[in-house]
Amino acid sequence: MSNDESEQTKTNPPTDDAKTPDTPTDSATETPSIEDLTHQLAEATEKADKHWESLLRKQAEYDNLQKRVARDLEKARKYALEKFATDLLAVKDSMELGIEAAAQSETKLEAVLEGMELTLKMFTDTLSKFDIVEINPINEKFNPQWHEAMAMQPSADAEEGTVLHIHQKGYQLNDRLLRPARVVVAQAVKAEKPIENKG
């Protein structure tokens, strides 16, 4: 080999066409140890147990709430009228006293009438206290939502469709109709036809 060839070999060493595989990094090839896996499993199990206990607690609280609501609803259904009934007892007491007074011969009719008026006022106030409102539409326009027409009556003085008389007052509870007012409604008077003179 000449000196020139040996110099070229030194400066350009022979290359290998075959590619060497990439050396895998330590992190990619690192497998967790049994101790690490055991620790992770213990942590996951502890979390799962906590979630399960929390779910059981919430389920128990929900069941207790359902039972409590059911009891409250049952009490409300049974005793919803308790306050109303208690207030009505005073009205009953007043009526009984009035009957006792009326049964005595020395009682004057005016005293009985006054007692009945006071008892009626007491009863009306009790109804009003519980939002039971009287429907008394005299001289008002007939409203089929709140009134029930018992008859039509021709009237020259009242506008057609106006309530002339009340057969029976109506009542509403808040915005709900308990009983319509039964009424007589004004009807327009028909004009008489003039008599034709055939003579």
Amino acid 157 reads D
pTM of the entire predicted model: 0.59
- For position 12, what pLDDT does the model report? 54
- For position 81, what pLDDT does the model report? 87
Residues of the chain whose pLDDT is less than 50?
A: 16, 18-21
Per domain, the residue ranges of the chain are 131-189
- For position 29, what pLDDT does the model report? 62
- For residues 163 and 184, the answer to whether their CB atoms sit within 8 Å is yes
DSSP state of 168: E
- For position 18, what pLDDT does the model report? 47
d(CA 147, CA 132): 16
- 131-189, superfamily in CATH? Head domain of nucleotide exchange factor GrpE (2.30.22.10)
CB neighbours of residue 187 within 10 Å: 16
Tokens 């050396």 found at:
23
